[in-house]
């Protein structure tokens, strides 16, 4: 189970318990499309074999990048997500 928590990140729960996966600090411009970016990247990362916490970190990065852009079609590309994760190292 994944529960998004805005800028704070998201909670991931499984048979082993729950944990908060921290969000990324960005200057938000428009939150339109952030949830879509989060869900899409979460599903893609899980499908690629990432464990839930790592998939959630990627999803949080995608949502953070999405809110820095105007409009609903703001999902970042995988390389943008990778760069934000490398830059922030959370």
Active site residue 5: no
Q: Where are the alpha helices (DSSP H) in 48-77?
A: 52-66
Per the residue annotation, which of 30, 36, 79, 82 is the catalytic one? Answer: 36
Number of residues that this document lists for the chain = 90
Q: Phi/psi at 72 (nearest 5 deg)? A: -85, -20
Query: Catalytic residue numbers?
Result: 36
């Amino acid at each position: 189970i994944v529960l998004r928590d805005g800028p704070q990140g998201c909670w991931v729960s499984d048979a082993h318990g729950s944990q908060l996966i921290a969000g990324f600090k960005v200057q938000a411009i428009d939150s339109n499309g952030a949830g879509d970016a989060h869900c899409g990247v979460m599903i893609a990362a899980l499908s690629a074999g990432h464990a839930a916490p790592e998939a959630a970190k990627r999803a949080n990065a995608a949502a953070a990048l999405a809110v820095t852009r105007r409009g609903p079609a703001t999902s970042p590309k995988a390389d943008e997500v990778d760069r934000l994760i490398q830059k922030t190292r959370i």
